[in-house]
Structure 1
Amino acid sequence: MSINGIDTMLGELRAMSAKAAGGVAHADQEQAQPVEFAALLKSSLDQVNQAQQTSRELQKQFELGNPDTNLQDVMIAMQKASLSFETMVQVRNKLVSAYQEVMNIQV
Structure 2
Amino acid sequence: MNTINALQQLPALQQQKPAVSSGEATADFGQMLQDAIKQVNNNQVQSEQMTNKLVTGEVQDVHEVMLASQKASLSLNLTVEVRNKVIESYQEIMRMQM
Superposition TM-score, scaled by structure 1 size: 0.63
Matched, 1:38 2:27: no
Q: How much is the aligned-residue C-alpha RMSD, in angstroms?
A: 2.1
Question: Could you tell which deviates more after superposition, 81-90 or 32-41?
Answer: 32-41
Shift of 1:36: 2.4
Distance 1:36 1:93 in 2: 22
Instruction: List aligned pairs for 1:27-106, cutoff 5 A.
Output: 34=25, 36-66=28-58, 68-106=59-97
Distance 1:92 1:69 in 2: 36
Letter in 2 for 1:60: N
Shift of 1:58: 0.4
User: Is the partner of 2:97 in helix, strand or coil?
Assistant: coil
Distance 1:94 1:76 in 2: 27
Letter in 2 for 1:43: D
Distance 1:104 1:37 in 2: 25
Letter in 1 for 2:33: L
Question: Could you tell which deviates more after superposition, 41-50 or 75-84?
Answer: 41-50
Instruction: List aligned pairs for 1:9-20, cutoff 5 A.
Output: none
5+ residue gaps in structure 1? 1-30
In terms of fraction of residues, the more helix-rich structure is 2
- Aligned twin of 2:4: none
Letter in 1 for 2:85: K
Which structure is larger by alpha-carbon Rg, 1 or 2? 2
